[in-house]
């Protein structure tokens, strides 16, 4: 949509930095849809590059994951749960990347609770879901998909008895529906494992 926004009506205070209740997401999504036709009207001279003090390109970066089905948890982040799952950790990682996102990496109890909240809506899915950590390079040394030590992420609460390297091949990371971390095989042939993606949009705007 470029750098332009339909300015006057929105600029008067309907969107404000750090003051963005989640129910306004629908308003902004509808407003952005309106922009596609508004800029071609005779009044397009009123089009400006900002909504309040937020550049429209940055506002669009905030809205973009919502348009792909990601759910926003205010102050926490954007998440999408692929309940259908996959047999491969590597496939889950690629799906997230194709969204412009990455496998979720909980950095706090609040973030883990957001995943738990989503998971609770799908009681019939597998009890573990792939997320973004593993120990494929060195057994027992868990790192995120970006190579950072798991213990430095801000959340490393394991489920009871985990990690246990059950069967000798549990080298990828998952989260139990109760919010605890778990090691799991990177390839699971018997069942498809759901997974969480996390979209790093411009969360600081609101």
In this prediction, residue 54 carries a pLDDT of 59
Domains belonging to the chain, first-starting first, are 5-67 (no CATH), 72-205 (3.10.100.10)
pLDDT tens track for 188-204: 999 999 999 999 765 54
Q: What percent of the chain has pLDDT over 90?
A: 58
- Using alpha carbons, select from 109, 54, 72 the residue that is nearest to residue 199: 72
pLDDT tens track for 116-140: 999 999 999 999 999 999 999 999 9
In this prediction, residue 56 carries a pLDDT of 66
In this prediction, residue 53 carries a pLDDT of 54
Residue 172's pLDDT band, with cuts at 50, 70 and 90, is very high
Considering all CA atoms of the chain, what is the largest pairwise distance in Å, rounded to the nearest integer?
69
pLDDT tens track for 82-110: 999 999 999 999 999 999 999 999 999 99
pLDDT for 42 beyond 50: no
What is the rounded distance in angstroms from the CA atom of residue 65 to the CA atom of residue 45? 29
In this prediction, residue 65 carries a pLDDT of 80
Question: In the chain, which residue ranges form alpha helices assigned H by DSSP?
Answer: 7-11, 24-38, 56-67, 89-98, 109-119
In this prediction, residue 71 carries a pLDDT of 92
- In the beta sheet, which residues pair with residue 82? 195
> Chain-wide mean pLDDT for the chain?
79
pLDDT for 181 beyond 70: yes
Q: Are 195 and 86 in contact (CB under 8 A)?
A: yes
pTM over 0.75: no
In this prediction, residue 20 carries a pLDDT of 43
């Amino acid at each position: 949509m470029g750098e332009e926004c339909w300015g006057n009506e929105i600029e008067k205070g309907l969107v404000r930095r750090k003051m963005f209740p989640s129910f306004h997401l629908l308003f902004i999504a509808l407003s952005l849809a309106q922009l596609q036709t508004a800029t071609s009207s005779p009044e397009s001279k009123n089009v400006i590059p900002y909504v309040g003090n937020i550049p429209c390109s940055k506002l669009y970066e905030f809205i973009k994951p919502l348009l792909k089905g990601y759910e926003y948890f205010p102050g926490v982040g954007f998440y999408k749960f692929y309940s259908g799952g996959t047999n491969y950790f590597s496939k889950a990682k690629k799906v997230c990347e194709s969204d412009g996102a990455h496998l979720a990496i909980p950095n706090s109890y609040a973030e883990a609770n957001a995943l738990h909240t989503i998971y609770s809506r799908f009681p019939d899915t597998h009890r573990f879901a792939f997320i973004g950590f593993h120990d494929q390079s060195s057994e027992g040394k868990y790192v995120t998909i970006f190579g950072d030590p798991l213990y430095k992420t801000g959340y490393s609460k394991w489920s009871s008895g985990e990690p246990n390297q059950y069967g000798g091949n549990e080298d990828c990371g998952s989260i139990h529906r109760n919010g605890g971390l778990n090691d799991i095989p990177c390839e699971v042939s018997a069942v498809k494992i759901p997974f969480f993606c996390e979209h790093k949009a411009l969360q600081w705007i609101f």
